[in-house]
A and B are shown apart, each in its own frame.
Chain A
Amino acid sequence: MSIAPVLATDPLVEEAASRAFSDLAEKWFAGKVTRENLLTAVEQLGFAEAAPGDDSGAWLAAAAIIRAQARAAAPIDMALLLATGDRAAAIAHDPSEYFCAATSPMPASASAHAALSLGRCLQIGAALGAALELSIRYAQDRKQFGRALAQFQAIQHSLALAAEEVAACTTITDLALACAEREGIGSPRLPALLDAAALVAGHAVNVVYDMTHQVHGAIGFTQEYALHRHSLDLLRWRDHLHLARGGDIGCAERLGDAALAAGSAWRAVTANMTPGATP
């Protein structure tokens, strides 16, 4: 299977992905969505299903749709719910609980496990971007001391730092996605890339959560204003991601062990970043 079309930067492709997603969302609200709907949409976007019985293809496709959709900052948790095909469970549970409960203790197969991490990292990247964009707009609109907040250098630098973390998180996640797409969800180097993505995502969440709320002042701490939605999404998804991978220390220790085994952190990093390598 291939999710290359969504990785492409062609705006038409992205728009098509977005539209397909919106269609699905409508059906979802109308109670008409099924696993078949999802797979049809996925095919329309140029994806094929993976081997029979292996649902990682659907997971990956959903993850890719999320990524395409992320730019529009729309309801992004839905695709993962859809990907599981279990509507009843999805309705009954809050998304993050849903995954814990529905896949208890955690995804059964290694491929579902990897797909879940990838999906969560993609979601986190999207929500980080959304929180950042909201903060940029707010800083441009809100005036204090007769100036827009955006004109204060301290605010500019805080948001620049946040943006750097968002870029790091989405880039390492894209690398993991590219690996899954080209080498399959069972690629032997994918777990290391996902450990790295989970760590980078965790740090990005800390920085962005801090900076975006600081820039917003009190309004960001309300139920009424949208920032809280992104923040709460970030926190839940981050926690679920780390829980699924045995904690962020677990991720770090595994990567550290790879460096020790290679006798060099640099060599372990380059090995994990070499397509087709079996570290």
Chain B
Amino acid sequence: MRFHFPIFEFPPEAEALRAEVRAFVTEELAAGRWKKGGDFASNYDPAFSQRIGARGWLGMTWPKRYCGHERTMLDRLVVTEELLAASAPVAAHWIGDRQSGPLLLRYGSEAQRTEFLPPLARGEIFFSIGMSEPDSGSDLASVRTRATKVDGGWTLSGRKVWTTFAHRNHYAIVLARTGDAGAQRHAGLAQFIVDLKSPQVNARPIVNMAGQKEFNEVVFDDAFVPDDRLVGEPGGGWTQVTSELAFERSGPERYLSSIRLVEAALACAREKPTPRVREALGRMSAKLMALRTMSLAVAAQLQNGEAPNLEASLIKDLGNAFEREQIAVFRALASDLPKHSDDYLSALAQTTVYSPSWTLRGGTREVLRGIVARGLGLR
């Protein structure tokens, strides 16, 4: 086989942590601190992020000297999958915890780590991803936002789009061009930590199809970025960006976007489940088990320092199709449900309207299939 998904199962300690997270979720819901809703990229609640930071559930794998908790990637996975399965409001801290923090740990300077990792781990500052531009989507290497060297730093000019929560977050990691690409398209790129509150950085929400302000256009009007905000080396941007991909594509957020709908339908059907509902829940469970096994395999490989980019892309494509399929299935079963709870109706509306974004964000379906095809030796 051309893919590698070695079986990994959680040890008993991990299950103790799972029980802890479940108890926390139950307590939060009972206290009415939040309602189930949205997904990892829309349900935004800074106070919630601070509470889980206080419990040690952010920056879980980072070194203690940066206020991390030196736990394993797999412990982190227990926490993230349980919070996603509960449709908890994780959007504020999601990007910083998943990829900006790990990026700084790997490529950032000591000063950057000391400055940014502790508040990230406490849930006090939040990060956005500044990659896409009006003319650069799937073809990310064609970005045109330019960083020009000046005394003591760089000036940034250009425009990013679809930058999720840039109007509320504190920083964005921006991919910009520092030099000409020349013959190699992927050369001449660099990543910068950009202060989104700076006066020369203007984030303007682009209202989405659901009527929500989540993603933004971000304009850099000769924004000054000090030297110490360059991440890694000028020219290293492409390698750095691609190193984030396995983290970005293999996690449970790629197959749990519609779990709330499934659980809400189950709750409505529980007293008198029809054979069709039982069958649908079973088919869904089977695929979920397969996806979760694959996702755990990738997490275990990441923990070992491997870079299973191919496997991660494969999981995202399969997972996005799965989460999309559940909407059709559990809408069609509406007449089999004895009642329609508010949770079911709102989950149905939310997942249906947001579903087109799932197969776009984080790499489109077509891009992912291209990566898988390359892994098969077809290109």
Contact residues of A between 108 and 143, Cβ < 8 Å to B: 129, 136, 139-140
Within the complex, what minimum Cβ distance (angstroms) separates B231 from chain A?
32
> What 0/1 readout, one digit per residue, does chain A (236-279) give for beta carbons within 8 Å of chain B?
00000000000001011111111110011110111011111000
Question: Is A199 an interface position by the 8 A CB rule?
Answer: yes
User: With the chains together, A157 CA to B318 CA distance in Å?
Assistant: 13
Contact residues of A between 160 and 205, Cβ < 8 Å to B: 160-161, 163-172, 174-175, 178, 193, 195-197, 199-200, 203
Pick out which of these stretches binds chain B: A32-40, A148-156, A223-231: A148-156
User: With the chains together, A234 CA to B288 CA distance in Å?
Assistant: 23
On whether A256 and B7 interact (CB within 8 A), knowing A163-B314, A167-B314, A171-B290, the answer reads no
Q: Which residue of A lies closest to B297 (CB)?
A: A171
Within the complex, what minimum Cβ distance (angstroms) separates B359 from chain A?
13
Please state if B273 and A160 are interface contacts (CB–CB under 8 Å): no
Within the complex, what minimum Cβ distance (angstroms) separates A270 from chain B?
7
On whether A151 and B379 interact (CB within 8 A), knowing A71-B1, A175-B293, A273-B9, the answer reads yes
Within the complex, what minimum Cβ distance (angstroms) separates A58 from chain B?
22
Q: Which residue of B lies closest to A204 (CB)?
A: B290
B289 partner, pick from A153, A253, A273, beta carbons under 8 A: A273
User: With the chains together, A134 CA to B320 CA distance in Å?
Assistant: 27
B288 partner, pick from A71, A256, A269, beta carbons under 8 A: A269
Question: Is A65 an interface position by the 8 A CB rule?
Answer: no
For A151, A161, A163, A266, the residue with the greatest tally of chain B CB atoms inside 10 Å of its CB is A266
Contact residues of B between 227 and 256, Cβ < 8 Å to A: none
Within the complex, what minimum Cβ distance (angstroms) separates A170 from chain B?
7
A160 partner, pick from B262, B270, B277, B372, beta carbons under 8 A: B372
Please state if A171 and B294 are interface contacts (CB–CB under 8 Å): yes
Please state if B1 and A170 are interface contacts (CB–CB under 8 Å): yes
Within the complex, what minimum Cβ distance (angstroms) separates A149 from chain B?
9
User: With the chains together, A129 CA to B282 CA distance in Å?
Assistant: 26
On whether A256 and B318 interact (CB within 8 A), knowing A136-B376, A168-B294, A175-B293, the answer reads no
Residues in A neighbouring B373, C-beta threshold 8 A? 156-157, 159-160
> What 0/1 readout, one digit per residue, does chain B (280-321) give for beta carbons within 8 Å of chain A?
111111111111111001000000000000010010011000
On whether A273 and B292 interact (CB within 8 A), knowing A252-B283, A253-B282, the answer reads yes
Within the complex, what minimum Cβ distance (angstroms) separates A155 from chain B?
7
Please state if B266 and A259 are interface contacts (CB–CB under 8 Å): yes
User: With the chains together, A273 CA to B366 CA distance in Å?
Assistant: 31
Residues in B neighbouring A174, C-beta threshold 8 A? 5, 7, 293
Residues in A neighbouring B9, C-beta threshold 8 A? 175, 178, 273-275
Residues in B neighbouring A253, C-beta threshold 8 A? 275, 278-279, 282
Residues in B neighbouring A275, C-beta threshold 8 A? 9-12
Q: Which residue of B lies closest to A248 (CB)?
A: B283
Residues in B neighbouring A139, C-beta threshold 8 A? 378
Q: Which residue of B lies closest to A151 (CB)?
A: B379
Residues in A neighbouring B263, C-beta threshold 8 A? 264-266
Please state if A167 and B5 are interface contacts (CB–CB under 8 Å): yes
Residues in B neighbouring A169, C-beta threshold 8 A? 290
Question: Is A9 an interface position by the 8 A CB rule?
Answer: yes
Question: Is A50 an interface position by the 8 A CB rule?
Answer: no
User: With the chains together, A167 CA to B2 CA distance in Å?
Assistant: 9
User: With the chains together, A249 CA to B2 CA distance in Å?
Assistant: 31
Contact residues of B between 258 and 280, Cβ < 8 Å to A: 259, 262-263, 266-267, 269-270, 273, 275, 277-280
Question: Is B370 an interface position by the 8 A CB rule?
Answer: yes
Within the complex, what minimum Cβ distance (angstroms) separates A126 from chain B?
10
Residues in B neighbouring A255, C-beta threshold 8 A? 281-283, 285-286
A140 partner, pick from B7, B290, B377, beta carbons under 8 A: B377
Please state if B280 and A163 are interface contacts (CB–CB under 8 Å): no
Question: Is A7 an interface position by the 8 A CB rule?
Answer: yes
Residues in B neighbouring A163, C-beta threshold 8 A? 2-3, 314, 372, 375-376
Residues in B neighbouring A159, C-beta threshold 8 A? 373, 376, 378
User: With the chains together, A161 CA to B314 CA distance in Å?
Assistant: 9
Q: Which residue of B lies closest to A274 (CB)?
A: B15
Within the complex, what minimum Cβ distance (angstroms) separates B153 from chain A?
43
User: With the chains together, A155 CA to B379 CA distance in Å?
Assistant: 11
Please state if A7 and B285 are interface contacts (CB–CB under 8 Å): no
User: With the chains together, A263 CA to B4 CA distance in Å?
Assistant: 34
Residues in A neighbouring B280, C-beta threshold 8 A? 252, 256
User: With the chains together, A195 CA to B259 CA distance in Å?
Assistant: 21
Please state if B285 and A260 are interface contacts (CB–CB under 8 Å): no
Please state if A171 and B318 are interface contacts (CB–CB under 8 Å): no
Residues in B neighbouring A257, C-beta threshold 8 A? 278, 282
User: With the chains together, A139 CA to B285 CA distance in Å?
Assistant: 34
Residues in B neighbouring A197, C-beta threshold 8 A? 286
A249 partner, pick from B1, B279, B318, B369, beta carbons under 8 A: B279
Q: Which residue of A lies closest to B372 (CB)?
A: A160
For B18, B283, B290, the residue with the greatest tally of chain A CB atoms inside 10 Å of its CB is B290
Please state if B5 and A171 are interface contacts (CB–CB under 8 Å): yes
Residues in B neighbouring A153, C-beta threshold 8 A? 370
Pick 12 A–B contacts, CB within 8 A, sort by A.
A153-B370, A167-B5, A167-B314, A168-B294, A171-B294, A171-B297, A175-B289, A252-B279, A252-B280, A258-B285, A265-B281, A268-B285
Q: Given contacts A174-B5, A200-B290, could you give 20 more A-B pairs where the C-beta distance is less than 8 Å?
A: A9-B4, A71-B1, A136-B376, A140-B377, A157-B366, A160-B376, A163-B372, A167-B1, A172-B289, A174-B293, A196-B285, A199-B286, A252-B279, A253-B278, A256-B279, A257-B278, A257-B282, A266-B85, A273-B293, A274-B9
